[in-house]
Amino acid sequence: MPIEVILPKVDMDMATGKIAKWHVKEGDAVKKGGLLFEIETDKAAMEIDAPSDGIIRNITAFEGAIVPVGQAVALIYQDGESASAPVAAQPLPPVKPITPAPRPDAEQPAVLPAAAASGRFPATPLARRLAKQAGITLENIAGSGPRGRIAAIDVQGALAKPAAPQRVEPGSFEVIPLDGMRRTIAQRLTLSKQTVPHFYLTVNCDLTRLSEIREILNAQAPRDAQKLPVWKLSINDFIIKAMASALKQVPDANVTWADEGIHRHHSCDVGVAVAVEGGLFTPVVRAAETKSLSQVSKEMKDLATRARARKLLPAEYQGGTTTISNLGMYGIEQFTAIINPPHATILAVGAAMERFVPVNGLPVLRTQMTCTLSCDHRAVDGALGAQLLAAFRTFIEEPALMLA
């Protein structure tokens, strides 16, 4: 008899569980106690181990599936047992409609438009009164309550942001006052565009090796006390490290412009553009060439989080010898960035895309990433820029070289 692998109850009040990740696949040999899959819970992901040795088959629930507690999701067969049609499991209790147990923390409220065709808007008495007092209709207020009910908080929200006008007047606009960040960006980048003689170099980087190595490194990441992986490297971490390594290899490009003379920096301080609400910050990973990928990764995560919370210290986003701007997550294939003075370079990274490239005369599908380096011609000439970009590409296409 094959042994059932069930989705177990791990939390009190748990009625269903979501399979986050399978660590084995159909037909794999498993050992008792070995990791089979992870389930997503309110707290950390829960690892589920194999109840016995054998071959795992008949996996019926895959990543992302929401399964009632106690239901079998796979079967483990012993040697000699044939994998027949999926064994009829013992009758399960009827699957209730999937509603995850209510969580104590605030979830994203389902913001639904409150209007019905008849023009009636479900709203609490308090909401109606507040709307009436404020002189606004309920029409354009999205209700956060069940069935789109408008509550006081929704009315208060609508009053706080006088954003959506009832009807757009042609040519109408509202004035958004400039804050410090906006002024700074405007001033500096205008200056850059007007005074820095930009030129642009573009390469396509093959990501095959990088992907392999990244996967190996992430899969083998050791676990900490909470059983979380100590690192989880992103492609961007490799980019930062590659750029720093390239600048080390081409030190003449690790410069910033000054009227008194070009500053050739001794460490490669790579700034990374991080989008925040209303603007962007460019925190700097100092001496990135001396840091391991995991160190870069950890530091970047922290900087990005604090950048978004606007909790960076000036020392953390000033200076730097270059900037990386990655718009790949938005699907941008290629773009050119504006240099942040006094830097001499800025690297614009596009999305990882699958393309057909000729290999030995035949079209082969490869994953590539198009990167464009903007250079300040006063400090970095064409050949120097090309050297830098070529070095960068090399480190991206063969990350092992960064170990040498």
Partner 1 sequence: MNAPIRELTYAQAIQEALATAMEADERVFLMGEDIGVYGGAFQVTGDLVHRFGEDRVMDTPISELGAAGIAVGAALAGSRPILEFQFSDFAALAMEQIVNQAAKMRFMLGGKVSVPLVMRLPSGSGTGAAAQHSQSLEAWLAHVPGLKVVQPSTPHDAKGLLLAAIDDPDPVMVFEHKLLYKMKGEVPEEAYRIPIGKAVVRRKGRHVTIVATSIMVHRALEAAEVLAGEGIEAEVIDLRTLRPLDTATIIESVKKTTRLACVYEGVKTLGIGAEISALIAESEAFDYLDAPILRLGGVDSPIPYNPTLEKAAVPQTSGIIEQVRNLVKGRI
Which residues are tagged catalytic?
A: 377
| Single residue of 41, 52, 60, 124 touching partner 1 by CB under 8 A | 124
Does position 114 interact with partner 1 (CB under 8 A)? The reply is no
The nearer residue to partner 1, 142 or 280, going by C-beta atoms, is 142
Distance, in Å, from the CA atom of 136 to the CA atom of 92, rounded to the nearest integer, reads: 52
| Single residue of 29, 98, 111, 126 touching partner 1 by CB under 8 A | 126
Tokens 């200076």 found at: 319
The kind and range of the H/E element at 192 are helix 180-195
Interface with partner 1: number of residues (CB under 8 A): 16
- Contacts with partner 1 in 147-186 (CB under 8 A)? 151-153
State the nearest-atom distance from the C-beta of 97 to partner 1, in Å: 16
Q: Which of 250, 259, 193, 248 is nearest to 381 (CA)?
A: 250
Does position 15 interact with partner 1 (CB under 8 A)? The reply is no
- C-alpha triplet 52, 83, 23: angle, nearest 5°: 50
State the nearest-atom distance from the C-beta of 133 to partner 1, in Å: 10
State the nearest-atom distance from the C-beta of 246 to partner 1, in Å: 50
Orientation angle between helical segments 125-134 and 152-160, nearest 10 degrees = 20
Say if residues 269 and 288 touch (Cβ distance below 8 Å). Answer: yes
Distance, in Å, from the CA atom of 381 to the CA atom of 194, rounded to the nearest integer, reads: 19
Report which DSSP code applies to 166: S
The nearer residue to partner 1, 109 or 113, going by C-beta atoms, is 109
The kind and range of the H/E element at 389 are helix 382-397
Q: Which two tokens stand for residue 355?
A: 């393309």
| Single residue of 2, 17, 68, 145 touching partner 1 by CB under 8 A | 145
- Contacts with partner 1 in 47-106 (CB under 8 A)? 102, 104, 106
Q: Partners of 348 in the beta sheet?
A: 325, 372
Does position 146 interact with partner 1 (CB under 8 A)? The reply is yes
The kind and range of the H/E element at 73 are strand 72-77
Say if residues 322 and 311 touch (Cβ distance below 8 Å). Answer: no
Q: List, in order, residues 6 or more apart from 161 with CB less than 8 Å away.
A: none
Positions touching partner 1 (CB under 8 A) are 102, 104, 106, 109, 124-129, 144-146, 151-153
